[in-house]
Chain A
């Protein structure tokens, strides 16, 4: 299991674990000066609402440079996710 940040691009990845509440991944991207937490309190549910949950197959499309957002594809849908959030999604490459 690796975090979405380290995963390879353009290969199917299966979501293994989504770190929910708390402050998952704070500091990973050094994103934003203050706070953290609040926006992520319902992280697990927000992911789930967008279709990211254990067992979903996703594809990492791109990572913006300088700790910018990660773009993923689920089915026909593209989603942009900040680095801190992405670090709380653990994935595994789908074995052929």
Chain B
């Protein structure tokens, strides 16, 4: 055996089994379609390295969707003598899952069936006769609970002994056979409604559902702010002010305060001391922005988002938002990438793959990268405009929301192609597995640290070098007048627009020392959000949309940013 293929319907816990087998950390969520790209990892069984592939979730082996085409490809390309298929089955949904199982059994591959979510069958009143099922399928059947690791040892033991089952069933008989198997192996007792099931009913109820969604989103926002502000106020700012500040001052004295190195590393003194927002040295503002201003919000955002994901609330929100999302030509599941984009636009753009058609993906990705500010930006906008309270913050987000709708509506009129209707499974509510949840948050946060921290430091370095070399003066003189006329911003703000290609949080940070008025800050924040995605987002946008669509998206971005900026300039 050289290869293991993990097959199963969407949202049956394949990714969690994959993590158990390989130790490779990937993100498992309680909504269908988390894994659209396949993942490959390695495991050791009987001292041999074996490749494990997490195939995207499929309902059948017929290539009806992009995910199913990928699945089919693996069946075609693998050698049946060296490959074992693990079919992960949701044991609370045996009947629907068996369709794929029978198809897999009819291939030449050895198949092992895992009855995952085994712990949930008990409180759902489901009894499955495992021995009987194994006899009927002529394949090993193992009950598992992926998140706790129950059954994984047994799986490892049986993997090397798996043999093809010589099962053969004609396409038209599959569902009949499924019916027969279910009759012989499964008993479902009626059971009382659990608290979670009552919540399930409320959250998709036409009237109560909207109220419930309002409460959930409001609480989410509140908790994100509470944790974010708490971490900044009680942990990160004190660390910078009381521990890092004095160290930097000593270092500054050592460097002597008027040479170039001092300007690059520590920056300008504001009122005779280091101001972490305004000094703009690599070691002062450069470290402060990603760690003390942005990281706390990244942590709190992903903590809350992961709870919404793992409980299974997002598909329900998708159902409620379906009509609204059709305003911009995409169906309800489009809310998932949109929410992800608030953390960072990169995973947001990647998640547009859960949409079926090119039209939907183009609209979703464009609208998102124009009008959804990532957490790093939001944190900085709050940092700059927070002192004006709701008067300063609200105009930014209301404008961006209007832009989201208007551009989305316009695009849905003019972009050709299909907008399919929503057709998705709604998984049951699950209590999040806390350790798994924390791991996921950590994974996403460490991704931010790895990807963003170097970019911010480089960004601040470049800003300083450009200032020193006179480059910023040069471009402000060329583009400055244009900017001043249209947007009403001082010529120096052009530097921020320039750096915004690299990192938007740094760019917004650059506005701090300019002494802008509230109106100018609002205009600059909106324009900076809209005019172009940061380099990381641009790269994934290019990968997902290809050249022409990226070009279209870029033209829309630049022109709409200038237009909206001009309008805001007229207002303020």
Identify the A interface with B (CB < 8 A): 29, 31-40, 42, 45-46, 48-51, 53, 61-69, 71, 74-85
Contacts and interface: CB of A to CB of B under 8 A. Distances in A.
Given A42-B64, A69-B422, A82-B322, A34 B416 contact: yes
Given A49-B99, A82-B422, A77 B93 contact: yes
B416 A81 contact: no
A82 B206 contact: no
Nearest to A86: B421
Contacts of B425: 50, 77-80
Interface of B: 59-60, 62, 64, 92-93, 95-96, 99, 124, 126, 175, 188, 200-201, 204-206, 209, 315, 318-320, 322-323, 326, 329, 331-332, 356-357, 359, 412-413, 416-428
A64 B422 CA distance: 12
Contact of A81 (B200, B418, B423): B423
Contacts of B99: 49, 51
A68 B426 CA distance: 15
A83 B323 CA distance: 11
Given A61-B204, A64-B319, A74 B96 contact: yes
A35 B417 contact: yes
A50 B59 contact: yes
B413 A33 contact: yes
Given A34-B416, A63-B206, A68-B319, 20 more contacts: A33-B329, A33-B413, A34-B412, A35-B417, A36-B418, A39-B419, A39-B420, A45-B64, A49-B99, A62-B205, A64-B206, A66-B323, A67-B323, A76-B92, A76-B93, A76-B126, A79-B425, A79-B426, A83-B421, A85-B421
A30 B204 CA distance: 21
The 5 closest A-B pairs by CB, nearest first: A82-B421, A39-B420, A49-B59, A35-B418, A32-B419
Contacts of B64: 42, 45-46, 49
Contacts of B418: 32, 34-39
A39 B356 contact: yes
A76 B95 CA distance: 9
Most buried by A among B60, B417, B419: B419
B231 to A, nearest CB: 37
B324 to A, nearest CB: 9
B34 to A, nearest CB: 17
Contact of B419 (A35, A63, A77, A79): A35
25 contacts: A31-B421, A32-B326, A32-B412, A34-B412, A35-B359, A36-B418, A38-B357, A40-B421, A42-B64, A45-B60, A53-B175, A65-B323, A67-B323, A68-B319, A69-B421, A75-B96, A79-B423, A79-B426, A80-B322, A80-B422, A80-B426, A82-B322, A82-B420, A82-B422, A84-B421
